[in-house]
Amino acid sequence: MPSQIIAIISLVVALSVAIWQVRVNIRRAKKANVLPVTSAAIEEFRSESFRESLQELIISAQRNPPPVVGFEQVADDWRKHAYKICYFFEYLGALILFDIVEEDLIISLMSTQALQVWEIIEPYRSAELAYRRNTLPPNVPNAFLPHYEWLVRRIGDMGGPEAPSMIREHISTNQIRRFDLRAATLLARAHLRKSQGYGAFASPKSR
């Protein structure tokens, strides 16, 4: 009986170690993918064509907004720019939702433009949803830009327009806390060494 218990315990320990190793490998694989995917997203965000499409949407909304209809019913030029920007944020929302890219980094860099564009296109998106509900078969999904919508809600949960500054403040506070903890640890060790008769920064071996 004791041998069986030992065998079971050994099996549980081995299984736990295997699960831990798998999780570590998954985390490493995710981290390896984060940098190139994030770099590609930032490169597209900063590209001239993206900025041009962004400006076209903003300027048209201010000067001569098209009639509020579904995306497929608006003028070709507006639709081209709208699709380019909206699908960028749609895919970005999916990458954040499935933990492929760092949420804090992306929202800190791009939330202003994401919210700005959403405010412009939301009436047209609603019209497109209504059009799809009326034209697509009942067994076909009629969602349109669901991950972009989720991204906008997530930005709202994190502070809305203030999300970037709140993220920076949160990260700065955590960095200060980690620094303070390390400094306190070093100071405590120095006092301990001094109380034991060693110099504040000397090791026992130097004695």
Domain regions of the chain by residue span: 34-158, 164-207
So what's the pLDDT on residue 69? 94
* Four-CA torsion 77, 83, 86, 92, nearest 10 degrees: -140
So what's the pLDDT on residue 139? 92
According to DSSP, residue 145 is labeled: S
**Distance between CA atoms of residues 136 and 150, nearest Å:** 23
The pair of structure tokens assigned to 172 is 């700065």
What is the amino acid identity at position 125?
A: R
So what's the pLDDT on residue 49? 95
Whole-model pTM? 0.71
pLDDT digits (tens), the chain, 207 positions: 566 666 666 666 666 666 656 555 555 555 666 788 899 999 999 999 999 999 999 999 999 999 999 998 999 999 999 999 999 999 999 999 998 899 999 999 999 999 999 999 999 999 999 999 999 998 999 999 999 999 999 999 999 999 999 998 888 887 665 555 565 566 666 656 666 665 544 545 544
**Distance between CA atoms of residues 7 and 186, nearest Å:** 44
Q: In Å, what is the CA distance from 163 to each residue of 119, 142, 170?
A: 17, 30, 10
What is the amino acid identity at position 31?
A: K
